[in-house]
């Protein structure tokens, strides 16, 4: 079977639900519209499903002019895709300082009502300077929006199948790929081949697979309901699998763009892993 892209996913607002897309424009900072917005408290500290699982139940959509958020009760919030004309303000993600453009009081009120706490919605500024880990990338300069640390996450269908086989052996239910919130899912490769490769490549495309992704409690949250079905899983099972040297609950590879800025990625697109 020829390796190819099996599916593509974006998460416009950090920690909210994702959108499955059939194609996506690749930018130097990841897939277009991916994690370009973040919800913060009044001091700029980011919100995450790690502490607020309800975030998974806010569903985004993108049309030609708006980011649209839908609450479980059917209420909608519309945010213009055109950036607001405001000065950047503080955003703090895992102790790292960066900047965001505040989307205004209407968005803040809508989201504050949903979360029953005072929050703000901010987006990545045009001149984004948030740099991906220099200690990992060395002289290569890459930037990301409001993702945890890297602009892309690559997983594979075979790796999920291997995990689900291990879960089955432990009498646990299988998991969908949505638990791992990937951007690019590949098929046609051996299980965990993404950890043995350094490059995902295609025609005029090169992604550096630069760091295994150590997973957190978000993987325990049902991404449709916000519920936790089996506490601690799949983290406990991943830690028994040994597919990454050194141990830990790893699934997927963090990646940065080396070549391909401005190219459209699409489902069934042939790739290779080197």
Per residue in 56-73, pLDDT tens? 999 999 999 999 999 999
As a whole number of angstroms, the distance between CA 210 and CA 213 comes to: 10
Q: How many domains does the chain have?
A: 1
Residues 6+ apart with CB under 8 A from 139: none
Instruction: Supply 210's token pair.
Output: 């630069």
Average pLDDT in the 214-227 region? 97
The torsion angles phi and psi of 115, rounded to 5 degrees, stand at -85, -10
Average pLDDT, the chain: 97
Q: Is 30 left (phi over 0), alpha (psi -120 to 50) or beta?
A: left
CA distance 129 to 132: 10
Q: In the chain, pLDDT over 90 holds for what percent of residues? A: 96
pTM strictly above 0.95: yes
Domain that holds residue 25: 4-273
Query: 194-210 pLDDT, tens per residue?
Result: 999 999 999 999 999 99
* Contacts of 4 by beta carbon, 8 Å cutoff, 6+ apart: 186, 187, 188, 268, 269, 270, 271
105-122 average pLDDT score: 98
pLDDT tops 90 at residue 217 = yes
DSSP state of 164: H
- Residues in CB range of 226: below 8 A, 6 or more apart: 49, 53, 54, 55, 56, 57
Distance of CA 84 to the CA centre of its chain: 24
Q: How far is CA 226 from CA 57, 204, 254, in A?
A: 6, 39, 24
Confidence of residue 18 (pLDDT cuts 50, 70, 90): very high
CATH number at residue 45: 2.40.33.20
């Amino acid at each position: 079977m020829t390796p190819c892209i099996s599916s593509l996913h974006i998460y416009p607002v950090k920690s909210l639900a994702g959108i499955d897309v059939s194609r996506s424009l690749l930018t130097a900072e990841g897939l277009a519209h991916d994690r370009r917005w973040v919800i913060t408290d009044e001091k700029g500290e980011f919100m995450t499903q790690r502490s607020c699982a309800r975030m998974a139940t806010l569903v985004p959509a993108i049309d030609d002019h708006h980011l649209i958020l839908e609450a479980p009760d059917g209420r909608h919030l519309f945010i213009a895709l055109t950036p607001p004309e405001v000065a950047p303000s503080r955003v703090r993600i895992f102790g790292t300082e960066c900047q965001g453009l505040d989307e205004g009081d209407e968005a803040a009120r809508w989201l504050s009502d949903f979360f029953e706490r005072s929050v703000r919605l901010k987006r990545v500024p045009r001149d984004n300077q948030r740099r991906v880990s220099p200690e990992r990338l060395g002289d290569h300069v890459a930037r990301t929006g409001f993702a945890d640390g890297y602009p892309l996450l690559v997983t594979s269908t075979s790796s999920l199948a291997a995990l689900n086989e291990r879960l089955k052996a432990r009498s646990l239910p299988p998991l969908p790929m949505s638990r791992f919130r990937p951007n690019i899912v590949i098929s046609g490769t051996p299980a965990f081949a993404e950890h043995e490769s350094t490059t995902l490549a295609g025609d005029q495309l090169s992604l550096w697979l630069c760091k295994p992704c150590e997973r957190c409690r978000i993987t325990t949250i049902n991404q449709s309901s916000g519920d936790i079905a089996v506490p601690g899983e799949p983290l406990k099972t991943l830690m028994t699998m040994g597919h990454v040297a050194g141990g830990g609950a790893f699934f997927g590879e963090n990646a940065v763009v080396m070549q391909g800025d401005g190219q459209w990625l699409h489902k069934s697109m042939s790739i290779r892993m080197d």
